[in-house]
Structure 1
Amino acid sequence: MPFMSAKLRRGTVLAFNLVLALAAHAQDSAAPDVPAPRQATAALPALASFFDNSNFGGALLSPGGRYLAARHGAPGKRIMLAVVDLQTKAVKVVAGFSDADIGHMVWVNDERLAFDVTERDVAPGETYLGAGLYAVNRDGSSLRQLATRRGESFVSEGGTHIQKKILPWHTFLMNQTGAQDSEYLYVTSVDFDERGQKRNVSLLRLNTLTGQATSVLRPATVSGWMLDYQGRPRLAVGAEKGKTTLYYLDPAGDKWRSLASYDSYKGGRNAIMPLGFGPDGTLYVEARGGKDTLALYAFDYASGKIRPEPLVETRGYDFSGQLLGNRARLLGVRYETDAEGSTWFDPALQAMQDKIDKLLPSTINLVSVPSAPDAPWALVRSYSDRQPSVYTLYDIKAGTLDRVGAAHPEIDSRRMGRQEQVRYKARDGLEIPALLTRPAGAAKDAKLPLVMLVHGGPYVRGSTWGWNADSQFLASRGYAVLEPSFRGTTGFGAKHFTAGWKQWGLAMQDDIADGARWAVAQGLADPKRICIAGASYGGYATLMGLARDPDLYRCGVEWAGVTDIGLLYNGHWGIQSDVSDEWKQYGMPELIGDPVKDAAQLEATSPIRQAARIRQPLLLAYGGADQRVPMYHGRQFRDAVSATNKRVEWIEYGDEGHGWSLPAHRIDFWGRVEKFLDKNIGNQAADAPR
């Protein structure tokens, strides 16, 4: 891979995909990370290289650090679970099925793993099985099913199954490791109501050898749980009637007590978001501490407040990240600003990070260490704006790297575009962060066709610096891509977030248009060749952008988009949305608009009501199994806009949900987008430079 250092050892045995005959050995040789020479006859990067499923699903070091578990497959084959003994270099496939792919995986202890399964080639509309839950020893022995797959007692190759107690299908792995020192782990069991909405989450202590499980006493209606560093239940999160309450299981009296309560959607001065526990029992939380941005604080149990001084601040950004530690102590934190990074409190680990960064100078290198303090290896995930994730093992004593696997090995980083974090001023003076991706080799003074790519949510963090299939595909086809973090986007402080309340189709929309005009003013974009695109809320913004700024946007690409805020509230008599009643009652009226008090505003900012104003070419796509934005959003808007606009293209994937899960659909969709853009703002456009 071009970004790799030449110091990587050649012929590494840890490229065990050779041993498994799953894929060809990846090249270890290095090449400079520079744009490839432009050749008129060179074929464009293939669609499938961006949007096909990856055959490598990541890796995890065992708690002691001797073994490496990895999810791996081959083209046309199922994803299997393999374990490498890093001392003997022996490789063992420990689980693999002909009718399922290995999904999430965790180490229970150094000898045993737990995992669930998925079906990567089945769309949501055809899915009738749950994820199941299984455990297996690292040598492949003692494979046991622990939870059903919606009625399936076992995947077809599970072998003879002696009927024992098996948990129901709604049993799931946690995203926390637990103690990793026994055959037990904690799992959650979700209670759904008759509409399929999550009502309560129970916590179970599960023996992965016997299948026996015991429930943890809940303090109230619970939506989430947190374990401490010893792997014991210590925090429960309750969310009810618009309020979030944190409950703490005090080890002194072994009783639950309330730590904090705040508005679930608006937050507030007392809002704290628990991040995790340190080995000494300290609870670390994200909080504002009277400032605009979130920082990482330690929580004082005695006072019920955060300690005065933050542990980590990320200036200009809300702190968002995770704790890094082992069984003995807190070692550092991982955080996200314009990109991901790590702060190590341990000098030896900071020195190790510096060595790895010198070996891999062109990428961000995220280091994970096992829970054992004296583990001999660390796992590194490396990426850049042009390079998808690559996993390597770092030998701490030898100071060398071995390649493990890559997420998208077909991607040539030299042909990817550079991504830049930019900021521009909205018309009211608010600073808007954005990501700008330009095609590889594009001249600095080139006025390119521009795609305004709008993120969904909208009250989430948008794209961060790093390789992204959507933006890089568009850049590979010659487009500049601007991804604005308009007001209402989280991650940039309370002022930026609250400025977006009740601004759908208004100031939020202006922020996007102001970004396009900024790109024109900077000489980056051709003002006659700008298209707006996005999914979910981004789809809503696409439609409203076409209606509000017809002279700015030449065309629009909208998929899975909201077409009427009223439909979010009321839906359709024949189809139910998975938008929760809690969100409709307590969140939407405050952040989007009250259906009674703000009825006139919601009417004026409804794309369906503005459909007659949209005359530009428009590509619409929806999934028939989408429960977040059901198909009736798309069909009602299609019928309304088609009455006055004959340049509407309609795509319907009957078995897809809120986005495209199947590679065939992703490839088909983006192939259609490529042709649509080429015709309207690309080389085939009437006013394209010749």
Structure 2
Amino acid sequence: MPLSNAILRRGAALALCLALPFCPPAEAAPDGAAPPALSSFFDNASFGGAILSPSGRYLAARTSGAGQRLMLAVIDLQDNKLKVVAAYSDADIGRVVWVNDERLAFDVTDRATAPGEENLGAGLYAVNRDGSGLRQLATRRGEAFVSEIQSRAKRPLLPWHTFLMHGAGAQDSDALYVTSPVFDTRGEVRTVDLLRLDTLSGRTTTVAPPGPVRSWMLDHEGKPRLAIGQHDGITTVHYLDPADDRWRTLASYSAYTGGAGAFSPLGFGPDGTLYVTARGGKDKLALYAFDYATGKIKPEPLVETAGYDFAGRLLTRRGKLLGVRYETDAEGTAWFDPAMQALQDKIDKLLPSTIDSVSMPAAPDAQWALVRAYSDVQPPTYLLYNLQTGKLDRLGTAHPAIDSRRMGRQEVLHYKARDGLDIPALLTRPAGAAKDARLPLVVLVHGGPYVRGSTWGWDPESQFLASRGYAVLEPSFRGTTGFGARHFTAGWKQWGLAMQDDIADGARWAIAQGIADPRRICIAGASYGGYATLMGLARDPELYRCGVDWAGVTDIGLLYNGHWGLQSNVSEEWRQYGMPELIGDPVKDAAQFAATSPIRQAARIRQPLLLAYGGADLRVPLYHGRQFYDAVKQTNRQVDWIEYPDEGHGWSLSKDRIDFWGRVEKFLDRNIGKDAAMP
């Protein structure tokens, strides 16, 4: 079943509020008006999403007022009565799941504390939908809240590293399954235990594993069915056979390079079928059913996404597989159930300007469906659809201050690299920009690098830059996942080489197309994107006028040994089995490492440069930034240095995000923007 791209299916997207009579009208920005405030892009979200209870009668939502913590509220949809069931002065509500129709479980986070100051386990709590029966189940900061001490007086709390699973579970009792990693002496995860936890009593039962496990999967009845282990670079998929209640091995393959027989479990259908993603001898991943009898995937794919690896999840209801949600250039849904397709069509007619993802509660007779709607100019917005009346009601959006009419349109495009490889990319233009205008361009490079980059939809960073008058190009250079095996493997051991060429070729393509002013191009990115920024300035000085690097790798060798007193969160197994294959071997590829080291190329970088690093970063420790800064400032006086002492690998605090992007705005203004002196 091949699928066309989601954007082509839905057409060009406009502002959500234009389609909804209950949205407040957005005023068009007058000529010369100030651009949208930084805070409207980078403040903490005021609405954290919503989920329907199993019956569909109750809705749980995470919400907050201006400057407030996220709280957990439950709405009875029969009478629209709202009850705040959990709220804290020193924590925000994190993940929330329905245990059953009367009880919820949740953890907490802290959006006001940076990682370097954080002494916060996520905790684990359960509460009834009316606010009664609050019980702390796992520790936070090593102890319970004083206000909750009575709830755990008869039973010790679970350790801080007790986490909610992804997925709904059975939702038919007061119990749910949680995971708890077991650490070795170096602090790395040795195995992950699976516990059945009674949320009323706090009692737990440990599921017997088949060996060391990294992740677990429940079946259609909410019972443990798969255990996935990883050891010495090999992934092993274990299956708990319901016929004899014994574990057996379904497959083993390289954890990092895959190979023949490799697949990724996606989930179980109501009839017990295991659905997986696999290549099936082709370039692109597709959705397959697994054949327990042969121990192999069935030969015919069930869903293929043209031009993309299949990535998504199953959509089920009690006793029925309804469809799959997938991601191509944007999010889409393939409904197997005709009634659900008809419902999707009705909602799409009401919301013709957005991608509309419909979620159903477990009960087949539910009255409401939940809709998540978004576009390139509209942040995700949650709505309720009444199945009886056909009415839509808006619940909330993460960034209510965003005026969609002032956002830039985003285009999905492709260009050719110099060796002929097809490179997908996103291009965001400023709102109101003429199609034939040559604009200052920011080439925004994603991190990873072996991950999927940006997908079509509203993004605070690209939209902020567009709101300041810049075109933004986001290339999915070779090595980016999601575009097939050939595209992925073409990026192995190509840091600073062909991967870098792909990025430069994108900038040159934008010049050739009349999009970019060749005198006003800046390269920017975080993590691997920061590395690519530095290497771009060194390799293509005539192309890039300036660069912005935050949390960027400055030497591949330092990924192996550069911690400067901080423990890296890069696992030893990844260093031993993954990095030598995908990035390079520090001995065999020593010469290549030297040639592609920004630190060793620092003297070649003479363009203006903005560097920003977090003092508590365990992925790319501060040592990376400090060493490079000490090297580059010897020959370059146009280097700005920012250090956020308590931040990690990216900026978790809204004040730091606003500060950083305010500095970026000024930096770009004076180098390629309105204040730049052009030659």
The within-5 A match list for 1:671-686 is 671-686=662-677
Map of 2:554 onto structure 1: 563
Please report how far the alpha carbon of residue 55 of structure 1 lies from its aligned counterpart in structure 2 after TM superposition. Answer: 1.2
Cα distance, 1:157–1:255 mapped onto 2, change above 3 Å: closer
Aligned pair in 2 of structure 1 residues 300, 666: CA closer, same or farther (>3 Å)?
same
Q: Distance in 1 between matches of 2:24 and 2:360?
A: 26
Counterpart of 1:24 in structure 2 is none
| Aligned counterpart in structure 1 of residue 448 of structure 2, from 450, 454, 457 | 457
Distance 1:452 1:180, change over 3 A: same
Q: Secondary structure at the match of 2:444?
A: strand
Task: Say if 2:494 is the partner of 1:499.
Answer: no
Give the Cα–Cα distance (whole angstroms) in 2 for the partners of residues 7 and 48 of structure 1: 25
Q: Which residue of 1 is the match for residue 8 of structure 2? A: none
| Cα shift at 1:241 | 0.4
Distance 1:197 1:640 in 2: 33
State the Cα distance separating 1:525 from its structure 2 match: 0.2
Letter paired with 1:478: G
CA distance in 1, matches of 2:67, 2:331: 33
Aligned with 2:195 (options 195, 201, 204):
204
Superposed, which structure 2 residues align to 1:595-614 within 5 Å? 595-614=586-605
What SS does structure 1 have at the residue aligned with 2:363? coil
What secondary structure, in the 3-state scheme, does the structure 2 residue paired with 1:43 have? coil
Do residues 661 (structure 1) and 652 (structure 2) align? yes
- The aligned counterpart of 1:3 is 16
Letter of the 1:36 partner, please give it: A
- Per-residue deviation, 1:37: 5.3
**Deviations along 1:398-426, whole A, 9 cap, x unmatched?**
11101111111100000000000010000
Matches within 5 A, 1:344-383: 344-383=335-374
Aligned match of 1:68:
59
For the 8 Å contact 1:113–1:137, the answer to whether it is kept is yes
Find 2:425's aligned residue among 434, 441, 449.
Answer: 434
The answer to whether structure 1 residue 398 and structure 2 residue 389 are counterparts is yes
Distance 2:607 2:30 in 1: 33
Partner of 2:467: 476
Q: Counterpart of 1:220? A: 211
Alignment of 1:504-519 (within 5 A): 504-519=495-510
Partner residue in 1 for 2:41: 50
- Do the aligned residues in 1 keep the contact of 2:479 with 2:487 (CA within 8 Å)? yes
One-letter amino acid matched to 1:282? T
More displaced, 373-382 or 187-196? 187-196
Q: Tell me the distance in 1 between the aligned counterparts of 2:468 and 2:146.
A: 42
Residue of structure 2 equivalent to 1:277 = 268
Mapped partners of 2:209, 2:270: distance in 1 = 24
Instruction: Output the TM-score relative to the length of structure 2.
Output: 0.96
Counterpart selection for 1:36 from 28, 42, 45: 28
CA distance in 1 between counterparts of 2:563 and 2:379 reads: 41
Q: Is the 8 A contact 2:496 2:596 kept in 1?
A: yes
Alignment partners' CA distance in 1, 2:385 and 2:83: 21
Secondary structure of 1:124's counterpart equals: coil
Q: Partners in 1 of 2:438 and 2:296 — Cα distance?
A: 53
Q: 1:171 aligns with which of 142, 162, 165?
A: 162
* Shift in Å, 1:2: 5.0
Per the TM alignment, residue 165 of structure 1 is displaced from its structure 2 partner at its CA by 2.6
Structure 1 position 78, deviation (Å): 1.5
1:341 aligns with 2:354: no
Alpha-carbon contact 1:6-1:29 (below 8 Å) kept: no
What 5-or-longer segments of structure 1 have no aligned partner? 11-27
1:329 and 2:320 aligned: yes
Aligned residue for 1:126, secondary structure, equals: coil
Report deviation, 1:29.
Answer: 4.8
* 1:291 equivalent among 249, 272, 282: 282
1:375 Cα shift?
1.1
Deviations 1:241-268 (A, max 9, x none): 0000000000001011100111100111
**Equivalent residue letter for 2:247:** W
Asked if the contact 2:429–2:470 (Cα under 8 Å) also holds between the matched residues in 1, the reply is yes
**Where do 5+ consecutive residues of structure 2 fail to align?**
1-13
Shift of 1:38: 4.8
Q: Deviations 1:116-169 (Å, cap 9, x if unpaired)?
A: 011110000111120000000001110001101141222656766524231111
Question: In the TM superposition, what is the alpha-carbon distance from 1:99 to its structure 2 partner?
Answer: 1.7
Task: Give the equivalent residue in structure 2 for 1:113.
Answer: 104
Q: Say which SS state the counterpart of residue 625 (structure 1) adopts.
A: coil
Match in the other structure for 2:254: 263
Q: Is 1:541 the counterpart of 2:532 in the alignment?
A: yes
The alignment covers a number of residue pairs equal to: 666
C-alpha change, 1:397 and 1:500, in structure 2 (3 Å) is same
> Whole-Å Cα distance in 2 between the matches of residues 366 and 201 of structure 1?
32
1:524 & 1:672 partners in 2: Cα distance?
Answer: 25
Q: CA RMSD in A?
A: 1.4
Maintained 8 Å contact 1:5/1:360? no
Distance 2:355 2:83 in 1: 30
* TM-score for the superposition, normalised by structure 1: 0.95
The Cα shift of 1:235 comes to: 0.2
Residue of structure 1 in register with 2:174 after alignment: 183
2:608 to 614, 617, 623: 617
Distance 2:614 2:188 in 1: 20
- Alpha-carbon separation, structure 1, partners of 2:563 and 2:397: 44
Contact 1:532-1:545 at 8 Å conserved across structures: yes
3-state DSSP of counterpart to 1:182: coil
Q: What is the rounded CA distance, in whole Å, between the counterparts of 2:586 and 2:302 in structure 1?
A: 42
Partner-residue secondary structure (3-state), 1:57? strand
SS in 2 for 1:4: helix
How far does residue 269 in structure 1 lie from its aligned partner after superposition? 2.4
Pairing 1:640–2:653 present: no
- What secondary structure is seen at the aligned counterpart in 2 of 1:286? strand
Paired with 1:345 and 1:177, the residues of 2 have a C-alpha distance of 20
The residue number in structure 2 matching 1:301 is: 292
- Tell me the SS of whatever aligns to 1:637: helix
CA distance in 2, matches of 1:248, 1:161: 35
Quick one: distance in 1 between partners of 2:495 and 2:66?
A: 43
Which amino acid in structure 1 is aligned with residue 129 of structure 2?
Answer: R
- Secondary structure at the counterpart of residue 203 of structure 1: strand
| 1:130 paired residue among 101, 121, 125 | 121
Give 1:311's aligned residue. 302
Taking the aligned partners of 1:453 and 1:184, their CA distance within structure 2 comes to 45
My pick for the range that moved more, 191-200 or 563-572, is 191-200
Residue number in structure 1 paired with 2:138:
147
CA deviation digits over 1:73-118, x for unaligned, max 9? 1112121111001112111111111121111000000000000011
Structure 1 residue runs of 4 or more that deviate by more than 4 Å after TM superposition: 5-8, 155-161
Write the distance in 1 (CA, Å) between the matches of 2:260 and 2:524: 36
Worse-matched range after superposition: 468-477 or 269-278: 269-278
CA contact (8 A) 2:197 2:205 kept: yes
Letter in 2 for 1:68: L
Identity of aligned residues (%): 75
Q: Which amino acid aligns with 2:375?
A: S
| Counterpart residue identity of residue 39, structure 1 | D
Offset at residue 313 of structure 1 (A): 0.3
Q: 1:590 aligns with which of 565, 578, 581?
A: 581
8 Å CA contact 1:437–1:472 kept in 2: the answer is yes
What do residues 521-560 of structure 1 show as CA deviations (whole Å, max 9, x unaligned)?
Answer: 0000000000000000000000000000000000000000
